[in-house]
């Protein structure tokens, strides 16, 4: 069984590896885990690849397990930025981690990319170290770190690594591995698209961004810098960019060209075991696998352009959809596996109902026709094809696969697309066949200003979705619920806005068991607004909730929770505004433990459905 995984240790002294990948997550051999995907891809190219998962980092010794690799060490903090994985939005150290065996305390250091790279350089100074994964990708230039509450410079400079592969890295990592294998010069390697590197001076043809020293203390300067970087990154043909930091310069080549639909599809047919490595299984397994084990990825990219989301800047705005035949082949293989119980947990992508859609003005799949941050906000671009037909046909084909009893869509769905005429039929069949009790959508808020700053559609669109959903649910004769995700504490969201949202939730007769408190993740417009307190587009001053108010905005949606009620009561008492709470429907209900409202009997938005109806659960 262990031989079917990528090696996690050498077989003997003579076992030489070409590449060793170091990860801040436990090793799960599933395509949803970035290090496993890159490892299997490099293996398919003929390279001998080893996986060093969650090594102890106090010394360089654990990093010598595989000896000196022939080509390079690849470093990833894991599927999630290490500071986001290790800390709550309140900057408290997390006690649980879904990517660590047994779900205990996080098994990676803070700023794992930097720590791992430094230890590797201590162990083998002459071996190239290549940073990759979402942490490195989103920290490739000056960025705000919400835990340290300061602007940090490029992770490449701090780690003193040799190269950084950003965005979706298959093309860049292949060219780099092939170049190192044939002995290419550094100059040749530094021309690879999708690569960043340190230099003594910027290239003559580079867009020179403001230096790190010029933007790290001044919010207005940081906004101008990040806006320039963001706009340049979204162009159909992004330029080479460079940023000076101290005496060095970080050079960022244009992004790698997206994989073709066929190339993307081929990745998911690599020989993944879809299992946790036995070493980790013996220590309690890896919880993060539970919600994705029997899931299918259909595409990459998202043109929604939400201000708080890093998908656009990491995966890209252009949509690359796998061929339907390849996806069905994967579903058939999954249905034949020994531990498959008949349920496909999810079939989707960053936004499920963007499969098969994209820019009609683009020259090839995955390309974009313009530099708009969003193709659908504030209005729909006439060049975007929003047809739900490709996804509808895919779902119809997949649910006919022998052995598949249930086929659910657990990925997020854009409710503003579902209410459009082009996706009405898709909406109907989603409700009829593919909702496991709950449909996940993300209106995020109800107040106009926060929604505008989030680049989300106005609340009236969500109202239209609710009406359509209820009509389709009744028509299908099913007891289904929509699960709205809300963000509180986002830049521009005042206490009055939070109270309005609490009123809305209270009037439904339900409560929100889980709500997202805004986390300023690196390299998003929302994080820029959080740090600068300036509207990203206009530069005007905006309100940014912080401290106890940000926590209270969250607690206002969880008034059924005694601890949340206590926080809310104490906060408004300090303000001398206790009477405000008596106006909230959720506050007036009988105090008690979690469960249905004593007044309405309705289940909570986030209530678990019976196991037979919803055999899966996913974190947003």
Tell me the fold of 290-434. Transcription Regulator spoIIAA (3.30.750)
Strands 163-165 and 195-199: antiparallel
Q: What is the CATH number of domain 2-197?
A: 3.40.50.2300
Phi, psi of 229 (to 5 degrees): -65, -45
- In terms of Cβ atoms closer than 10 Å to its own Cβ (0-12, 13-18, 19+), residue 55 is buried
Q: How far from each other are the two terminal CA atoms of the chain, in whole angstroms?
A: 32
SS3 28: strand
**pLDDT for the residue 514:** 66
**pLDDT for the residue 453:** 98
- What are the CA-CA distances from residue 501 to residues 93, 211, 581, 602 (Å)? 28, 41, 13, 18
DSSP for 224-279, written as a single string:
HHHHHHHHHHTSSSPPPEEEEETTEEEEEPPPPPPPPHHHHHHHTTS----EE-HH
**148, 114 Cβ separation under 8 angstroms:** no
**pLDDT for the residue 2:** 54
- The 10s digit of each residue's pLDDT in 365-420 is 999 999 999 999 999 999 999 999 999 999 999 999 999 999 999 998 999 999 99
Question: What secondary structure letter does DSSP report for 541?
Answer: B
- Residue at token pair 């739900």: 388
Phi, psi of 503 (to 5 degrees): -60, -45
| Degrees, nearest 5: CA angle 257-258-261 | 140
Q: Which residues of the chain have pLDDT under 70?
A: 1-3, 509-511, 513-514, 588-620
pTM metric for this prediction: 0.92
Question: CA 174 to CA 76: how far, in whole Å?
Answer: 16
**328, 403 Cβ separation under 8 angstroms:** no
Phi, psi of 514 (to 5 degrees): -130, 130
Question: CA 434 to CA 449: how far, in whole Å?
Answer: 33
Question: CA 203 to CA 194: how far, in whole Å?
Answer: 16
- What are the residue boundaries of the structural domains of the chain, listed by start? 2-197, 290-434, 443-448+466-620
């Amino acid at each position: 069984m262990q031989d079917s995984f990528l090696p996690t240790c050498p077989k003997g002294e003579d076992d030489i590896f070409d590449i060793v990948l170091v990860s801040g997550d436990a090793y799960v051999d599933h395509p949803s885990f970035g290090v496993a995907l890159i490892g299997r891809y490099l293996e398919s190219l003929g390279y001998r690849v080893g996986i060093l998962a969650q090594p102890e980092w106090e010394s360089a010794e654990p990093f010598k397990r595989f000896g000196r690799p022939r080509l390079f060490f690849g470093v990833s903090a894991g599927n999630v930025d290490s500071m986001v994985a290790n800390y709550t939005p309140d900057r408290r150290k997390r006690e649980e981690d879904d990517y660590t065996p047994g779900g205990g305390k996080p098994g990676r250091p803070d700023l794992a990319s930097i720590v791992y790279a430094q230890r590797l350089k201590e162990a083998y100074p002459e071996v190239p170290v290549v940073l990759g994964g979402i942490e490195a990708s989103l920290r490739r230039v000056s960025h705000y770190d919400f835990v340290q509450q300061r602007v940090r410079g490029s992770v490449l400079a701090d780690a003193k690594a040799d190269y950084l592969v950003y965005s979706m890295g298959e093309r860049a990592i292949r060219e780099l591995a092939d170049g190192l294998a044939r002995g290419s010069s550094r100059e040749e390697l530094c021309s690879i698209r999708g690569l960043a590197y340190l230099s003594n001076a910027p290239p003559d043809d580079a867009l020179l961004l403001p230096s790190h020293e010029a933007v790290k203390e001044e919010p207005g300067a940081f906004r101008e810098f990040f806006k320039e970087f963001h706009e340049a990154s979204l162009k159909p043909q992004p330029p080479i960019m460079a940023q000076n930091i101290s005496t060095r310069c970080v050079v960022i080549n244009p992004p790698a060209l997206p994989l073709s639909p066929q190339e993307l599809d081929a990745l998911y047919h690599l020989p993944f075991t879809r299992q946790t490595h036995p070493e980790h299984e013996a220590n309690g397994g890896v919880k993060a696998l539970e919600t994705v084990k029997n899931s299918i990825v259909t595409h990459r990219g998202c043109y929604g352009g939400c201000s708080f989301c890093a998908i656009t800047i990491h995966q890209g705005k252009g949509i690359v959809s796998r061929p339907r035949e390849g996806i069905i082949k994967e579903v058939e293989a999954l249905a034949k596996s020994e531990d498959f119980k008949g349920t496909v947990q999810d079939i989707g992508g960053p936004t499920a109902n963007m499969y098969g859609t994209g820019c009609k003005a683009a020259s090839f799949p995955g390309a974009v026709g313009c530099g708009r941050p969003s193709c659908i906000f504030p209005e729909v671009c006439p060049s975007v094809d929003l047809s739900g037909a490709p996804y509808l046909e895919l779902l119809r084909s997949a649910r006919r696969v022998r052995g598949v009893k249930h086929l659910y869509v657990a990925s997020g769905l854009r409710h503003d697309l579902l209410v459009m005429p082009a996706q009405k039929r898709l909406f109907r069949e989603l409700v009829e066949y593919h909702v496991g009790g709950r449909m996940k959508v993300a209106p995020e808020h109800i107040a106009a200003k926060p929604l505008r700053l989030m680049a989300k559609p106005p609340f009236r669109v969500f109202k239209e979705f609710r009406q359509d959903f209820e009509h389709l649910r009744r028509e299908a004769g099913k007891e289904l619920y929509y699960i709205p995700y809300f963000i509180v504490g986002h830049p521009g969201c005042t206490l009055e806005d939070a109270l309005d949202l609490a009123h809305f939730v209270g009037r439904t007769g339900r409560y929100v068991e889980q709500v997202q408190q805004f986390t300023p993740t690196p390299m998003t417009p929302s994080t820029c607004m959080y740090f600068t307190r300036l509207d990203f587009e206009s530069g005007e001053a905006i309100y940014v909730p912080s401290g106890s108010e940000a926590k209270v905005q969250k607690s206002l949606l969880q008034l059924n929770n005694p601890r949340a009620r206590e926080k809310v009561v104490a906060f408004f008492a300090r303000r001398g505004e206790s009477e405000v709470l008596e106006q909230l429907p959720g506050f007036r209900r009988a105090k008690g433990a979690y469960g249905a409202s004593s007044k309405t009997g309705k289940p909570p938005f986030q209530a678990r459905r019976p196991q037979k109806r919803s055999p899966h659960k996913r974190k947003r």
